Amino acid sequence: MKKFVLSAPYTLEAEDVPIPEITDDQVLLRIGYFGICGSDIQMYHGLHKYMTYPVVIGHEVSAVIEKTGKNVSGYTPGELVTVEPQVFCGECWPCKIGRFNVCQHLRVMGVHQDGFACEYFAIDPCYLHSCKGLDSKLATLIEPLAVGIGSVKRAGDLAGQNVVIVGAGTIGNLTAQSAQALGATRVMVTDINQKKLDYAKECGIEYCVNTSDISLSDAIDKYFGLQRADVIIDCAATRGSFASILEAARPSSKIIVTGNFKAPVEIEMPVLQRQEISLIGHMMYVREDFADAIRFVASGDIRLAGFITSVYPADRLKEAFAFIDENPDDVMKIVISMQE
Ligand SMILES: [Zn+2]
Ligand SMILES: [Zn+2]
């Protein structure tokens, strides 16, 4: 079978290897599709701080069970699944309290160890989630959607709350939809890319605001009035986005950091202190967030139609990366087909 190894920045090579053998406790996945996300692009460009080369990329996956080991129950050949790609130790304090996403020895498939840019993958079924009834391409979006759900849950109970998401790209859009699905009273998403805002509107997000015309603070004032924003989630992760968020926050607002910052950011601490603003980090998801993601897609509470910009066959993987580099404003999600 073929697998695609990123051995150094911009160096992505196909290798021919045997189909992996499974143990009695594993299942063999036939990979259908995997999605390319912002962190894959950072890895491809050599800008990802926490990864290790060489690695088989791909952590947003849609696969079919090819066969199961004799001790495996609950999964049957032909079933559509996705993978929760976190490998955690189970021993550290975060693991002991169920926050596997911040395990002190966390390894992510496709980032720190091999992922799904391959035709077959042997895996322990504890990492799987059944996607029965979902579209096989859209199942690649369950992982990024779980990020959005995990992010919103960092704010706690959303009843009566106004939530603003800065950045209307894949994660921003899915986070905004998650905030609506999880019961926020009003949800706004902002960006300077009108196409992404138009798409957010199509996905049913109530307030989609272009902040090249109005400041974030004024937009919150205009649409949310006195209550302003209880929660602001940074999915843009730039010095500028963070500065505008801190300026727009109200006393006792929560700011959640979900996007990947590439450089340190200076914070005016007295603003945080005197307004009792909570600055909250967020990392990926836990198992229930994945389950919620699948449930919300199945129920139609979260809309993924139109999300996939295009599908590339695996042997054109480099072309897919080049397309994203050249058209960042036009891409929501590119998926790669491993079976063409
Ligand atoms: Zn990702
Ligand atoms: Zn751990």
Taking ligand 2, which is a single-atom ion, which protein residues have CB atoms under 5 Å away?
A: 88-89, 92, 95, 103
pLDDT confidence of residue 163: 98
Span from the CA of 113 to the centroid of ligand 2 (angstroms): 16
Does the structure show a pLDDT above 90 at 328? no
Q: What's the pLDDT tens digit per position in 203-238?
A: 999 999 999 999 999 999 999 999 999 999 999 999
Span from the CA of 287 to the centroid of ligand 2 (angstroms): 14
52 falls in which pLDDT band (50, 70, 90)? confident
Taking the C-alpha atoms of residue 139 and residue 63, their distance in angstroms, rounded to an integer, is 9
49 falls in which pLDDT band (50, 70, 90)? confident
* Ligand index nearest the alpha carbon of residue 145: 1
* Ligand index nearest the alpha carbon of residue 91: 2
Span from the CA of 257 to the centroid of ligand 2 (angstroms): 22
pTM above 0.85, yes or no: yes
* Ligand index nearest the alpha carbon of residue 51: 1
Angle at 32 between CA 30 and CA 33, to 5 degrees: 135
* Ligand index nearest the alpha carbon of residue 89: 2
Residues 6+ apart with CB under 8 A from 323: 310, 312, 331, 334
Token digits for 320? Answer: 């897919």
Taking the C-alpha atoms of residue 60 and residue 47, their distance in angstroms, rounded to an integer, is 19
Mean pLDDT of the chain: 96
Q: Averaged over 109-134, what is the pLDDT? A: 97
Of the chain, the percentage scoring pLDDT greater than 90 comes to: 95
* Ligand index nearest the alpha carbon of residue 110: 1
Span from the CA of 53 to the centroid of ligand 2 (angstroms): 23
Taking the C-alpha atoms of residue 187 and residue 231, their distance in angstroms, rounded to an integer, is 10
Span from the CA of 266 to the centroid of ligand 1 (angstroms): 26
Q: What's the pLDDT tens digit per position in 123-133?
A: 999 999 999 99
Does the structure show a pLDDT above 90 at 277? yes
**CB of 79 closer than 8 Å to CB of 130:** yes
Q: Kindly list the distances between the CA atom of residue 267 and the CA atoms of 176, 247, 272, in Å, as whole numbers in the listed order.
A: 25, 11, 8
Span from the CA of 107 to the centroid of ligand 2 (angstroms): 10
Domains defined along the chain, listed by start: 2-130+306-337 (3.90.180.10), 148-281 (3.40.50.720)
Span from the CA of 131 to the centroid of ligand 2 (angstroms): 27
Span from the CA of 154 to the centroid of ligand 2 (angstroms): 19
Span from the CA of 88 to the centroid of ligand 2 (angstroms): 5
